[in-house]
Amino acid sequence: MLYSVILPTYNERENLPIIVFMLDQVFAKHNLQYEIVIVDDNSPDGTLQVAQTLQKHYGKEKIAILSRPGKLGLGSAYLEGLQKVSKGQRIIIMDADLSHHPKYIPQMIRIMDASSSNHNKKVDIVSGSRYLLQSPESGVCGWDLKRKITSRGANVLAQFLLNPRGCTDLTGSFRLYERHALEKILPRVQCTGYAFQMEILVLAQREGYCIQDVPIVFIDRMYGESKLGPREIVLYLKGLLHLFFHT
């Protein structure tokens, strides 16, 4: 079983070698075959050169690179990485900026493997959740009160309007997918921004795919920089309304 980790990058020169090293360690420790698909959108900081250096060290079988001419969006980065480059039967989507720690991957795989023998409850998507409030392993690091209120407010609104049974973190972006599930859903996703991740899960549920949450801690390392401005909030609300009327 080959695991493909799709890593969209933009200005990740510093973090990329670290996340690749950590991923390699985790997969090697658990004796798992993997490839990392780096999708770089012409980062001005030289992320592509870093990726090429990593490819020379780890080999082309483990590091695949897709270089794009500019910032073309996260959705298309995932789609192109999936369709044009990745070969794995299972796909891991995560952030390259170390907000998602690779140590959670083996647990995600265990959940998916354990469900494989049970045809009634085969898990097709394992989603890392910051909001499994009953679990001590779930949560965040580096969020102030305003961020927590915004995030929880968005989540409560989405839960009320969309009722995604069993999914506690709709906007999370650390997930393990069976390849066939992602191949079917990803081309249909229309939302952008935070609603993009939400639409994947909602469409997956509507298609009958089984989703299970696993607790993770999200580490926000962008100290003092806000990734949640008015534009992102408006995009999110528009996406939420789109899903309310179309799913």
Partner 1 sequence: MVVLLRWQIFSIYGVALLSIWLAARQALLSQSDPPQFAARIAVDLAPLWGVVLLGIYGIGSVAYGVIALRDHKEVSGVLEQEVAEVKKELQRLGILDAYQK
Taking CB under 8 A as the criterion, which residues in 57-116 touch partner 1? 57, 98, 101
Q: Is 201 in the site for partner 1 (CB under 8 A)?
A: no
Residues in a beta bridge with 64: 37
Which of 78-86, 160-168, 175-183, 228-236 is the region at the interface with partner 1 (rule: CB under 8 A)?
160-168
| Buried-exposed string 51-81: b where 16+ CB fall within 10 A, e elsewhere | bbebbeebeeebbbbbebeeeeebbebbbbb
The count of chain residues that interact with partner 1, using the rule CB under 8 A, is 45
Q: How far is residue 32's CA from residue 4's CA, in Å, rounded to a whole number?
A: 11
Our finding on whether 1 is near partner 1 (CB under 8 A) is no
Give the nearer residue to partner 1 in terms of CB position, either 7 or 112.
Answer: 7
Query: In this chain, which of 110, 152, 180, 188 binds partner 1, going by CB under 8 A?
Result: 152
Nearest to 190 by CA among 208, 177, 203: 203
Interface pick for partner 1 out of 1, 28, 114, 133 (rule CB under 8 A): 133
Distance CA 208, CA 125 (A): 11
**Cβ of residue 38: shortest distance to partner 1, in angstroms?**
14
Site stretch for partner 1 (CB under 8 A), options 28-36, 59-67, 119-127, 148-156: 148-156
DSSP 30-56: TT-EEEEEEEE---TTSHHHHHHHHHH
* Contact with partner 1 (CB under 8 A) among 21, 32, 183, 232: 21
Among 1, 28, 149, 234, binds partner 1 (CB under 8 A): 149
Distance in Å from the first CA to the final CA of the chain:
33
Residues in the chain: 247
Tell me whether residue 54 or residue 176 sits nearer to partner 1 (CB atom): 54
| Residue 32: other Cβ atoms inside 10 A | 15
Residues that bind partner 1 (CB under 8 A): 17-18, 21-22, 46, 49-50, 52-54, 56-57, 98, 101, 130-131, 133, 136, 138-143, 145, 148-149, 152-153, 155-157, 160-163, 206, 217, 219, 221, 243-247
